Amino acid sequence: MTIKLKHVYIFLLLIVVILLVYIVQNVSNQGTTNTKEIEFNRADGYNEILGNITQVSVTIHNKDTIKHNYTVSSFVDSKLFSSKTVEVFTDLPYTYSLMIPTQKKYNADSVLIDDPTHRINLTVYRDNSEKPFDQIGFKYN
């Protein structure tokens, strides 16, 4: 009789362990599937020389099964500010970050002038596509 109870107890423990593993696996999978493929962030600050500044960043999570080339282009008031192409693998996200002054700009002679920024646009392209994969615009007053 005690041998049968011992087997039932071991069987029930095995079921509990399998359920716990299943629950933990589902919770961890939900955490990774809820991540957006492209995440945009903005943080505003102040610099004594430049005045108001903003840091904009793009985090790319390649959810495809193969690596892709992503191009991140930033535009300040419709003028190209920077562009970078990077290869992103499936298991490692990539973050591209820029610090942009929003009260002053450098002119063609590299002289700092008072010229406020009205809009910053970030555009992400994947591989050689002409259509943006994702994009966002930030307005400044």
Mean pLDDT calculated for residue range 12-36: 77
The reply to whether 128 and 73 lie within a common domain is yes
pLDDT of residue 95: 95
Average pLDDT, the chain: 88
The pLDDT of residue 77 is above 80: yes
Which residue range is the domain that position 112 belongs to? Answer: 38-139
What is the tally of structural domains in the chain? 2
The reply to whether 78 and 97 lie within a common domain is yes
Question: What percentage of residues in the chain have a pLDDT greater than 90?
Answer: 47
- pLDDT category, 32, cuts 50, 70, 90? low
The reply to whether 70 and 1 lie within a common domain is no
State pLDDT tens for residues 110-124: 787 888 989 999 999
- pLDDT category, 141, cuts 50, 70, 90? confident
pLDDT of residue 45: 93
The reply to whether 47 and 25 lie within a common domain is no
The reply to whether 56 and 100 lie within a common domain is yes
Q: Which of 71, 53, 48 is nearest to 138 (CA)?
A: 53
Beta strands in 49-107 (DSSP E): 51-60, 68-76, 79-88, 94-101, 104-106
Mean pLDDT calculated for residue range 74-100: 92
Complete edge-to-edge strand list for the sheet that includes strand 68-76 = 79-88, 68-76, 119-126, 134-139
Report the residue count for the chain: 141
The pLDDT of residue 88 is above 80: yes
pLDDT of residue 133: 94
Could you count the other beta carbons within 10 Å of the beta carbon of residue 120?
A: 21
The reply to whether 29 and 75 lie within a common domain is no
The conformational region for residue 39 under phi > 0 = left, psi -120 to 50 = alpha, else beta, is beta
The reply to whether 57 and 123 lie within a common domain is yes
The reply to whether 30 and 50 lie within a common domain is no
CATH number of 135's domain: 2.60.40.10
pLDDT of residue 85: 95
- pLDDT category, 61, cuts 50, 70, 90? very high
The reply to whether 81 and 19 lie within a common domain is no
The reply to whether 4 and 71 lie within a common domain is no
**Strand duo 38-47 + 104-106: pairing:** unpaired
- pLDDT category, 83, cuts 50, 70, 90? very high
